[in-house]
Structure 1
Amino acid sequence: MVGRLVGLSVAALLASTAVPLAAETPDREQIVSIVKEQRDATIEDLREWIALPTIAAEKLNTPAGAEYMKQLALDAGFQQAKIIPTDGVPAVFATLDAGAETTLGLYFMYDVKQFDPSEWDAPPLEGRLVEREGEGLTIVGRGAVNQKGPEMALLAAIKAIQASGKKLPVNLVLVAEGEEEVASTHFDQVVAVPEVRDALAKTVGVFIPSAAQSKDGSANITLGAKGAVEFQLVVGGETSDKYPKTDIHSSNHARIENPAWRLVKALDTLVADDGHTPAIDGWFENVRPLTERQKELIAEGAALNPEEEAKALLGVGRWIDDEPYVTSLERFLSQPTVNIQGLIAGYTGPGGKTVLPGRAEAKLEFRLVPAMTKDEAVSKLKAHLAKRGFDDVQVTVSGGYGPNETDEDSVLIRAQKALFDEKGIPYSIRPRNAGSWPGVIFNGPPLNLPASQFGLSRGGGAHAPNEWFLIESSDPKVNGLDEAIMAYVDYLYVVAEEAAEVSD
């Protein structure tokens, strides 16, 4: 997912005992046996999927990735699957009618982040099995954990139930996009298709498979995520005739403006002098503060997750303004941000080149919190720059969406609590992820559905070199692939049970 959450993977926090225990999955041992029998085939399926990366930013394998996702759905038993065209990368829509009383929505992404093979210890598209110290046997490759590993585990769970001769306890509606890693640029077009929208409207909610198990075996429940908007600011000969069309000799800076300086001046207005507090006019108008319940959850998580471990994971020695740990976590989950991802201008090679750049570009992103919206954020950015006379700064929005929230009492969250309680798995509840996924497309109007993440698997390195997904765990408390698949099997049955209780 875009900008995965780092740093709040807390340990055991048992939630309310008022949640009813889930019924045992029928003939579970038979399904376990089938999962084991299919294990090699599942690993090979994952390896082959890793070998076909769809990278929206590079327009790599965009038609092929959608066709591959469509076939994966059909192979898993979906009766129909079709390509949904958009103004960008196509999506996939599939349905599985099991004749059940409850229908569950699934959100997949089939695209992955860019990669540089020179930075990897194992080839990023090979799907090599690698022993990882302290974890166990892993599969390494781009997309292994984000999100092909968890998604393949869910598809394997669907196959295993059907191979046991049973119908699924829920009907399924699947939507899979190929632009999640560029902030879901056209995903709203997919859900706007009447056939897709009507199918999703029948669901009790939509969830994305994830690898949300911590190293100590505890699980994580999240009640939402920040929104994300990705955009570029460009200054140069393409935006105004006061800048050169190409790099020119630097002596001309005495009489010609440098677009890099102009971009720096514009960027400086977006944050306060502290370098991190957003300073865009009206930025905090619609920011909803944390509730007392959310602060309580954050404090409980902080008490169980050592601060030094969080700092070590991030490679830092202090938080902003040397704030206390709990304060930093509240900021992490509640504050909207204006972040510079990268700056590009002129010559950056060895030595000097004495040029005046013809173009300067900054790549940025916003992280949005309730009750902000993408349109509001973009509008305020443009108005802010215009007010200060930066009419020569071109703003190009490449993708984005608002934040999402789901109630603790929704069927999806109740089912997670019930499952973890039944299995004796300790868990924490996060008010939201600081990273983002487009759950607001389901969570907001016109669908207004619960949207969540679920997965009892483990992995790491999302967006980074040597991305991995756990296949065989060295710790019995932590799930390998087989156990992750069975967690999805159990979750489907618990969702059906919880939905039936709610409807009663």
Structure 2
Amino acid sequence: MKTSRLVHRHLARQICAALASAILFAGSAVAVAAKSDRAAIEREVTRQHDASVKRLQDWIALPSIAAEHLNSREGAEYMAKLAREAGFQKVDILDTDGKPGVFATLDAGASKTVGLYFMYDVKQYDPAEWTSPPLEARIVDKPGVGKVLVGRGAVNQKGPESAFLAALHAIRDAGRKLPVNLVLVAEGEEEIGSPHIGQLVHRPEVEAALARTLGVFMPAASQSIEGGIMVSLGAKGVVELELVASGEKWGRGPAKDIHSSLKAMVDSPAWRLVKALDTLVSEDGNTIAIDNYPVAPPISAEEKAMIAAAIAERDEAVTKKQYGVSHWIDDLPFQAAYERLVSQPTINIEGLVGGYTGPGGKTVLPHRAVAKIDMRLVPGMTMDGAVAALKAHLVKRGYTDIEVNVSGGYDPTSSSAKARLIQAQVSVLKRDGLKPMLWPRNAGSYPGFVFTNPPLSLASGHFGLGHGSGAHAPDEYYLIESSNPAVRGYDGAVMSFVDYLYELAR
């Protein structure tokens, strides 16, 4: 019996050693295969470069502008076409009470599923303000940056999204299997505050598909012009609205534009609007003064540390030049200005419209004036709470006649730094020799709340190497060929998405 037990133990040890060797060999084989796969995919990315850039140029040539009701159906149909060409097997155009959206799924037979959020609408543009026609998507030399593609939607958001689609093309055409399944939700109303995003995401079939994902990300061009990169853990919320003063609603002032000489005896709706606006903020316009407005929580020590680490890699002078400013609010130091950017809600006047706005003067007393407003929200605040406080404030001060017309908006969004979606980003960037910095939240907004809030309660974020700038402004661009080795061009951005998908599959 004793001899038998010894023999059994010896055999067991041999079997364990053999299994360990087999596992180690298999792991090595997988590592080699992964390296081989990546090389094949990268060759395909290079081969398809011209076709991928042309795909982006063609997409930019069809602007979907929700604010102008331009090409909303056509934009959805084009997005659906791009998804099918990239390999999504099930692609549906979904109608809402506003603009249609797109829902698509790609079943690769993988064990993990990843969610995608795309937007295909773009901001309005005035061609006269551009040095290159905004729909031609020309590639031009930009000193200190490289060859860039200039066009409306180039970086916000068609450029990075096209790079992600190019990654899917390259993986497939290299004869490799996509390492994860994909669920895509794409909308055409982000630039007006995503008023119907819930009608897309919370449809039973869409919500069920998203619930199986490990999180949802939006392709982005996240590198600064110097090459630094931040991993954002969230974004501010936003409310878009108009405040309207009119003689008809007020019961004072004219019911139509009249001669300005009559101001001596007739009230002005334009001045009424200006006076109402002045009650919303402090004397310098930098602090919200609305009664009972939701209070933003104080910035945390952890968030301060994130900001300090991130801006240590930035050049304040370059940042000011990029924005065309010479001072921050209250002449704050660089770090304090960024702490304010991350932690403070805002009320911004996007535009004031009333009466005559053409060349020269026209002596009229306008019967109507409009202020286009956006309000940014931070965690702890809600869209409904902010709008309710604004309306109550105006009523309390006697401005019951001023219309508050909300066109869109949503709550802030946050994800944990420990989420798999976020940790995979950090891993990919570090492996690429970069130093990713965690960032508390973007100052801009996207409707990530619909993924991070119940019932889905998923992680959500942005990812992508590459660079671009000029979102919402003239000469918006996306980098194609970089003159700075630290900043990835178009093909480098495509490969970052390839690496991210494989990392998420681990």
Common topology (TM > 0.5): yes
CA contact (8 A) 1:246 1:357 kept: yes
| Equivalent in the alignment of 1:58 | 68
Mean CA deviation greater in 478-487 or 232-241: 232-241
Report the Cα distance in structure 2 between the residues aligned to 1:376 and 1:26, rounded to whole angstroms.
54
Report the Cα distance in structure 2 between the residues aligned to 1:119 and 1:326, rounded to whole angstroms.
33
| Equivalent in the alignment of 1:16 | none
In structure 2, stretches of 5+ residues that fail to align are: 1-29
Q: 1:25 offset after TM fit, Å?
A: 5.3
Mean CA deviation greater in 306-315 or 103-112: 306-315
Q: 1:324 offset after TM fit, Å?
A: 2.2
Cα deviation 1:259-281 (Å, max 9, x = unaligned): 01110111011012232100111
- Is residue 456 of structure 1 aligned with residue 465 of structure 2? yes
Alignment of 1:20-39 (within 5 A): 27-39=37-49
Rate the CA distance shift 1:299–1:405 in 2: closer, same or farther, 3 A.
same
Report the Cα distance in structure 2 between the residues aligned to 1:457 and 1:359, rounded to whole angstroms.
45
| Equivalent in the alignment of 1:320 | 329
Report the Cα distance in structure 2 between the residues aligned to 1:312 and 1:474, rounded to whole angstroms.
19
Cα deviation 1:455-503 (Å, max 9, x = unaligned): 1011111111111111112222221111111110010010111xxxxxx
Cα deviation 1:171-193 (Å, max 9, x = unaligned): 00000000111111211111121
CA contact (8 A) 1:231 1:395 kept: yes
| Equivalent in the alignment of 2:184 | 174
Alignment of 1:136-155 (within 5 A): 136-155=146-165
Q: 1:26 offset after TM fit, Å?
A: 5.2
| Equivalent in the alignment of 1:3 | none
| Equivalent in the alignment of 2:303 | 294
CA contact (8 A) 2:90 2:104 kept: yes
Q: 1:350 offset after TM fit, Å?
A: 4.7
SS of the residue aligned with 1:92? strand
State the one-letter code of the partner of 2:241.
Answer: F
Give the count of matched residue pairs.
475
Report the Cα distance in structure 2 between the residues aligned to 1:188 and 1:59, rounded to whole angstroms.
20
Report the Cα distance in structure 1 between the residues aligned to 2:363 and 2:490, rounded to whole angstroms.
56
1:303 to 312, 336, 348: 312
| Equivalent in the alignment of 1:283 | 293
| Equivalent in the alignment of 2:20 | none
1:197 to 189, 207, 230: 207
Mean CA deviation greater in 52-61 or 270-279: 270-279
CA contact (8 A) 2:382 2:410 kept: yes
- Is residue 398 of structure 1 aligned with residue 396 of structure 2? no
Rate the CA distance shift 1:349–1:34 in 2: closer, same or farther, 3 A.
closer
CA contact (8 A) 1:103 1:202 kept: yes
Alignment of 1:365-380 (within 5 A): 365-380=374-389
Report the Cα distance in structure 1 between the residues aligned to 2:167 and 2:40, rounded to whole angstroms.
13
SS of the residue aligned with 2:291? coil
Report the Cα distance in structure 2 between the residues aligned to 1:25 and 1:72, rounded to whole angstroms.
28
Q: 1:136 offset after TM fit, Å?
A: 1.6
State the one-letter code of the partner of 1:328.
Answer: A
Q: 1:306 offset after TM fit, Å?
A: 2.5
| Equivalent in the alignment of 2:5 | none
Q: 1:303 offset after TM fit, Å?
A: 2.5
Cα deviation 1:335-380 (Å, max 9, x = unaligned): 0001111111223445543321110110011000001111111111
State the one-letter code of the partner of 2:121.
Answer: D
| Equivalent in the alignment of 1:163 | 173
Mean CA deviation greater in 423-432 or 403-412: 423-432
SS of the residue aligned with 2:148? strand
Report the Cα distance in structure 2 between the residues aligned to 1:234 and 1:481, rounded to whole angstroms.
44
2:491 to 478, 482, 485: 482
CA contact (8 A) 2:230 2:310 kept: no
Mean CA deviation greater in 241-250 or 185-194: 241-250
Cα deviation 1:71-94 (Å, max 9, x = unaligned): 100000000100110111100000
CA contact (8 A) 1:212 1:220 kept: yes
- Is residue 353 of structure 1 aligned with residue 323 of structure 2? no
Report the Cα distance in structure 1 between the residues aligned to 2:362 and 2:137, rounded to whole angstroms.
42
Q: 1:35 offset after TM fit, Å?
A: 1.0
CA contact (8 A) 1:282 1:380 kept: yes
SS of the residue aligned with 1:239? helix
CA contact (8 A) 2:294 2:385 kept: no
Q: 1:128 offset after TM fit, Å?
A: 1.2
Mean CA deviation greater in 208-217 or 392-401: 208-217
| Equivalent in the alignment of 1:120 | 130
- Is residue 211 of structure 1 aligned with residue 197 of structure 2? no
State the one-letter code of the partner of 1:139.
Answer: L
Report the Cα distance in structure 2 between the residues aligned to 1:272 and 1:26, rounded to whole angstroms.
61
Report the Cα distance in structure 1 between the residues aligned to 2:242 and 2:172, rounded to whole angstroms.
47
Q: 1:256 offset after TM fit, Å?
A: 2.5
| Equivalent in the alignment of 1:130 | 140
State the one-letter code of the partner of 1:192.
Answer: H
Normalised to the residue count of structure 2, the TM-score between the two structures is: 0.91
Rate the CA distance shift 1:241–1:152 in 2: closer, same or farther, 3 A.
same
Alignment of 1:398-477 (within 5 A): 398-477=407-486
Report the Cα distance in structure 1 between the residues aligned to 2:50 and 2:217, rounded to whole angstroms.
26
CA contact (8 A) 2:294 2:386 kept: no
Report the Cα distance in structure 1 between the residues aligned to 2:205 and 2:379, rounded to whole angstroms.
29
| Equivalent in the alignment of 2:24 | none
Report the Cα distance in structure 2 between the residues aligned to 1:256 and 1:26, rounded to whole angstroms.
79
1:241 to 242, 251, 255: 251
| Equivalent in the alignment of 1:106 | 116
State the one-letter code of the partner of 1:480.
Answer: G
CA contact (8 A) 1:25 1:490 kept: no
Report the Cα distance in structure 2 between the residues aligned to 1:307 and 1:156, rounded to whole angstroms.
34
Report the Cα distance in structure 2 between the residues aligned to 1:29 and 1:146, rounded to whole angstroms.
29
State the one-letter code of the partner of 1:373.
Answer: T
CA contact (8 A) 1:169 1:492 kept: yes
- Is residue 332 of structure 1 aligned with residue 345 of structure 2? no
State the one-letter code of the partner of 1:441.
Answer: V
CA contact (8 A) 2:64 2:71 kept: yes
Bigger-Rg structure (1/2): 2
